Amino acid sequence: MLRYLSFSFLISIASATSYDDRLADFALDFAAAAYANDPSKCIQKHGLQMAIQTKVACDSTYNQCWAYIAYNETIVVTAVRGTQTRLQLITELVETMSAPKKSFPSGGSVQRYFYIALKTIWKQGFGQKLSNLTKTLPKAHFLFTGHSLGGALASLTSSLFAHNHNRTITSDRISLITFGQPRVGNMDYATGHDELVPRSWRLIHRYDIVAHLPYCYESLFSRQCSSLYNHGPYHHGTEIWYPGEMTNSGYLYNMYRICTNTPLNEDRSCSNSAYIHYNVADHLMYFNKSVSDYGEAGCPV
């Protein structure tokens, strides 16, 4: 029954063009599963099977990046693990602040740490496996997801996938849903990503600080993000801000804002307006679940 319901649900959401919180709830299981040494329980919960799982040292201090692809005949899910250790977080921050951005194939420039991590994962057969699945599953929907660092790498993966397959996969068959995703690249990257993956939603839980890192350049006369002639970090679309607790008491599914005001993709009336409250605790919790603990526990009902 679970398998049948999952298929019916996925068919219905695959054609949706606007944000669907049911799809976000579905995606969270896969983003959380990336934290587990064995993500099979979360994957099988939705009737999918593993296509490939990668664990590889991906930075200068040999922190590991984990990623996997799961699929059924309806959907292919690519999920990447978030930051796992304090050392990995420090490495990310140091490289983000000190290393120049890297040009990205889909357009613009991205943070060097994220670029190197994706390149390392891609070489483990990830890109080839996705290409193979476009041929064996010609009607499937491709969903990319991740939490924290995993969200940044999912963003890059979705952009690169859409760029590489723009002649064979239409944009309505590609979605990105991330949780607490940091800024990935500059405004040119954001623009290119939005063109390639218009079905892209960045969930931000209340005062999640990681969603505001690395800090954007702010305009001189107001606290709003500026592209600073394309040099500064800048988000792509579309922010979905949950300003409350994301609990069953009323914020789980119906209390969110779709942030499309100015500046584009850096809506100053959404989470950017709450800068004095930013904290780490909200980064760890999405849909009332500790993301990493939930995944490690096998995504229990």
CATH of residue 168's domain is: 3.40.50.1820
Q: Is the pLDDT of residue 81 over 80?
A: yes
Give the domain extent around 75: 2-296
The two structure tokens encoding residue 128:
């080839």
Among candidates 81, 83, 68, 78, which has minimal Cα distance to 35? 81
Length of the chain: 301
What would the pLDDT profile of 164-175 be if each residue is shown by its tens digit?
999 999 999 999
Q: Is the pLDDT of residue 4 over 50?
A: no
Q: What is the pLDDT of residue 14?
A: 57
Mean residue pLDDT of the chain comes to 87
Q: What is the pLDDT of residue 165?
A: 97
Residue 47 falls within a domain, yes or no? yes
What would the pLDDT profile of 107-122 be if each residue is shown by its tens digit?
999 998 899 889 999 9
What would the pLDDT profile of 208-244 be if each residue is shown by its tens digit?
999 998 888 877 666 788 877 677 899 998 999 999 8
Model pTM greater than 0.75? yes
Residue 301 falls within a domain, yes or no? no
- The partner residues of 234 in beta bridges, in order of sequence, read 185
Residue 189 falls within a domain, yes or no? yes
Q: Which one has a higher pLDDT value, 146 or 91?
A: 146
Q: What is the pLDDT of residue 179?
A: 98
Q: What is the pLDDT of residue 95?
A: 61
Total domains in the fold of the chain: 1
Residue 128 falls within a domain, yes or no? yes
Average pLDDT, stretch 122-134? 94
CA distance 238 to 264: 9
Q: Is the pLDDT of residue 92 over 80?
A: no
Q: Which one has a higher pLDDT value, 18 or 5?
A: 18
